Amino acid sequence: MLGDPSLTLEPLRVSHAAEMSPVLADPILYEFTGGEPPSLETLRQRYVRQSRGMSPDGTEAWLNWIIRVVDTRTAVGFVQASIRVETVPVTASLAWLIDPTHQGRGYARRASSLVIDALRAQGVTEFRASIADGHVASERVATRLGMRRTEERDDDEAVWRL
Protein backbone atom coordinates (compact mmCIF):
# COMPACT_ATOMS: atom_id res chain seq x y z
CA MET A 1 0.00 0.00 0.00
CA LEU A 2 1.18 3.51 -0.81
CA GLY A 3 0.46 6.57 1.27
CA ASP A 4 1.39 9.81 2.94
CA PRO A 5 0.05 11.42 6.14
CA SER A 6 -3.26 12.36 4.48
CA LEU A 7 -3.89 9.70 1.80
CA THR A 8 -3.58 5.98 1.33
CA LEU A 9 -3.66 4.21 -2.01
CA GLU A 10 -5.19 0.76 -1.80
CA PRO A 11 -4.59 -1.68 -4.65
CA LEU A 12 -7.88 -2.15 -6.51
CA ARG A 13 -10.05 -5.09 -5.49
CA VAL A 14 -13.41 -6.17 -6.88
CA SER A 15 -14.87 -5.54 -3.42
CA HIS A 16 -14.20 -1.80 -3.90
CA ALA A 17 -17.01 -1.60 -6.50
CA ALA A 18 -19.83 -1.02 -4.00
CA GLU A 19 -17.91 1.77 -2.26
CA MET A 20 -16.74 3.37 -5.51
CA SER A 21 -20.10 3.32 -7.29
CA PRO A 22 -21.33 6.51 -5.54
CA VAL A 23 -17.88 8.13 -5.99
CA LEU A 24 -18.22 7.65 -9.76
CA ALA A 25 -21.93 8.54 -9.94
CA ASP A 26 -21.76 12.26 -10.77
CA PRO A 27 -22.32 12.76 -14.53
CA ILE A 28 -19.98 15.79 -14.49
CA LEU A 29 -17.06 13.34 -14.20
CA TYR A 30 -17.75 12.22 -17.78
CA GLU A 31 -18.01 15.68 -19.35
CA PHE A 32 -14.55 15.44 -20.95
CA THR A 33 -14.06 11.69 -21.22
CA GLY A 34 -17.49 10.69 -22.42
CA GLY A 35 -19.60 7.88 -21.16
CA GLU A 36 -21.81 7.83 -18.14
CA PRO A 37 -21.68 6.68 -14.53
CA PRO A 38 -21.31 2.90 -14.42
CA SER A 39 -23.89 0.70 -12.76
CA LEU A 40 -22.68 -1.32 -9.80
CA GLU A 41 -22.60 -4.50 -11.91
CA THR A 42 -20.68 -2.77 -14.71
CA LEU A 43 -18.20 -1.45 -12.17
CA ARG A 44 -17.76 -4.93 -10.65
CA GLN A 45 -17.07 -6.39 -14.08
CA ARG A 46 -14.58 -3.60 -14.84
CA TYR A 47 -12.81 -4.19 -11.52
CA VAL A 48 -12.60 -7.94 -12.23
CA ARG A 49 -10.71 -7.12 -15.45
CA GLN A 50 -8.57 -4.33 -13.98
CA SER A 51 -7.62 -6.19 -10.82
CA ARG A 52 -5.98 -8.94 -12.89
CA GLY A 53 -3.13 -6.47 -13.33
CA MET A 54 -2.45 -7.28 -16.98
CA SER A 55 -4.13 -6.61 -20.30
CA PRO A 56 -5.70 -9.70 -21.93
CA ASP A 57 -2.94 -9.79 -24.57
CA GLY A 58 -0.20 -9.46 -21.94
CA THR A 59 1.31 -6.29 -23.41
CA GLU A 60 0.38 -3.89 -20.59
CA ALA A 61 0.64 -4.03 -16.82
CA TRP A 62 -2.41 -2.43 -15.22
CA LEU A 63 -1.92 -0.83 -11.82
CA ASN A 64 -4.97 0.64 -10.12
CA TRP A 65 -5.42 2.15 -6.67
CA ILE A 66 -8.36 3.53 -4.72
CA ILE A 67 -7.52 6.90 -3.13
CA ARG A 68 -8.63 7.03 0.49
CA VAL A 69 -8.46 9.96 2.96
CA VAL A 70 -6.59 8.78 6.06
CA ASP A 71 -8.61 10.69 8.69
CA THR A 72 -12.06 9.57 7.49
CA ARG A 73 -11.18 6.37 5.56
CA THR A 74 -13.37 7.82 2.78
CA ALA A 75 -12.72 6.69 -0.79
CA VAL A 76 -12.49 9.83 -2.94
CA GLY A 77 -11.29 8.53 -6.31
CA PHE A 78 -8.69 6.46 -8.08
CA VAL A 79 -5.33 6.66 -9.78
CA GLN A 80 -4.15 4.30 -12.53
CA ALA A 81 -0.93 3.50 -14.33
CA SER A 82 -0.62 1.40 -17.49
CA ILE A 83 2.87 0.26 -18.41
CA ARG A 84 3.76 -1.22 -21.79
CA VAL A 85 5.65 -4.44 -21.20
CA GLU A 86 9.10 -4.79 -22.77
CA THR A 87 9.37 -1.24 -24.12
CA VAL A 88 12.31 1.06 -23.65
CA PRO A 89 12.21 3.58 -22.15
CA VAL A 90 9.76 2.20 -19.61
CA THR A 91 6.79 4.56 -19.71
CA ALA A 92 3.70 4.69 -17.51
CA SER A 93 0.46 6.23 -18.71
CA LEU A 94 -1.26 7.85 -15.75
CA ALA A 95 -4.91 8.67 -15.12
CA TRP A 96 -6.68 10.04 -12.07
CA LEU A 97 -10.24 10.81 -11.05
CA ILE A 98 -11.58 12.49 -7.91
CA ASP A 99 -15.22 12.71 -6.80
CA PRO A 100 -16.36 16.31 -7.49
CA THR A 101 -17.24 16.83 -3.81
CA HIS A 102 -13.58 16.22 -2.94
CA GLN A 103 -11.88 18.06 -5.80
CA GLY A 104 -9.62 21.05 -5.23
CA ARG A 105 -7.85 19.56 -2.22
CA GLY A 106 -4.76 18.26 -3.99
CA TYR A 107 -5.76 14.58 -3.77
CA ALA A 108 -5.16 13.80 -7.46
CA ARG A 109 -1.72 15.43 -7.43
CA ARG A 110 -0.63 13.78 -4.19
CA ALA A 111 -1.90 10.35 -5.21
CA SER A 112 -0.25 10.61 -8.63
CA SER A 113 3.01 11.76 -7.01
CA LEU A 114 2.97 8.68 -4.77
CA VAL A 115 2.49 6.47 -7.83
CA ILE A 116 5.25 8.24 -9.77
CA ASP A 117 7.69 7.84 -6.88
CA ALA A 118 6.84 4.15 -6.45
CA LEU A 119 7.13 3.42 -10.17
CA ARG A 120 10.43 5.29 -10.47
CA ALA A 121 11.77 2.99 -7.76
CA GLN A 122 10.69 0.07 -9.98
CA GLY A 123 12.51 1.38 -13.06
CA VAL A 124 9.84 3.44 -14.83
CA THR A 125 11.62 6.41 -16.38
CA GLU A 126 8.92 8.31 -18.26
CA PHE A 127 5.35 9.29 -17.45
CA ARG A 128 2.52 10.51 -19.64
CA ALA A 129 -1.12 11.48 -19.31
CA SER A 130 -3.74 12.00 -22.01
CA ILE A 131 -5.93 14.98 -21.18
CA ALA A 132 -8.94 16.31 -23.07
CA ASP A 133 -8.57 19.84 -24.38
CA GLY A 134 -10.13 22.30 -21.95
CA HIS A 135 -10.07 19.92 -18.95
CA VAL A 136 -8.52 22.61 -16.76
CA ALA A 137 -8.56 20.60 -13.52
CA SER A 138 -6.56 17.73 -15.05
CA GLU A 139 -4.22 20.16 -16.79
CA ARG A 140 -3.52 21.77 -13.40
CA VAL A 141 -2.79 18.39 -11.83
CA ALA A 142 -0.42 17.53 -14.69
CA THR A 143 1.34 20.89 -14.40
CA ARG A 144 1.76 20.48 -10.64
CA LEU A 145 3.27 17.04 -11.27
CA GLY A 146 5.86 18.73 -13.50
CA MET A 147 4.34 17.44 -16.74
CA ARG A 148 4.40 19.49 -19.91
CA ARG A 149 1.88 19.45 -22.71
CA THR A 150 3.28 18.12 -25.99
CA GLU A 151 2.12 18.34 -29.59
CA GLU A 152 1.32 14.61 -29.50
CA ARG A 153 -2.29 13.45 -29.59
CA ASP A 154 -3.81 10.28 -28.17
CA ASP A 155 -7.15 9.92 -29.91
CA ASP A 156 -8.65 13.35 -29.28
CA GLU A 157 -6.59 14.20 -26.23
CA ALA A 158 -3.34 16.09 -25.69
CA VAL A 159 -0.41 14.06 -24.38
CA TRP A 160 1.40 15.48 -21.36
CA ARG A 161 4.85 14.13 -20.43
CA LEU A 162 7.18 14.04 -17.46
**Successive 10-residue mean pLDDT values, the chain, 162 residues:** 93 98 95 93 97 94 97 97 90 96 96 98 96 95 98 95 96
Predicted pLDDT at 88: 86
Q: Which residues of 35-72 are buried (b: 16+ CB within 10 A; e: fewer)?
A: eebbeeeebbebbeebeeeeeeeeebebbbbbbbeeee
Sign of CA dihedral 162, 146, 137, 95: positive
Nearest to 98 by CA among 84, 113, 77: 77
CB-CB neighbours of 16 under 10 Å: 22
| Cβ atoms of residues 115 and 145 within 8 Å | no
pTM for the model:
0.94
Torsion, Cα of 140, 141, 147, 149 (10° steps): -40
- Supply the pLDDT for residue 117: 97
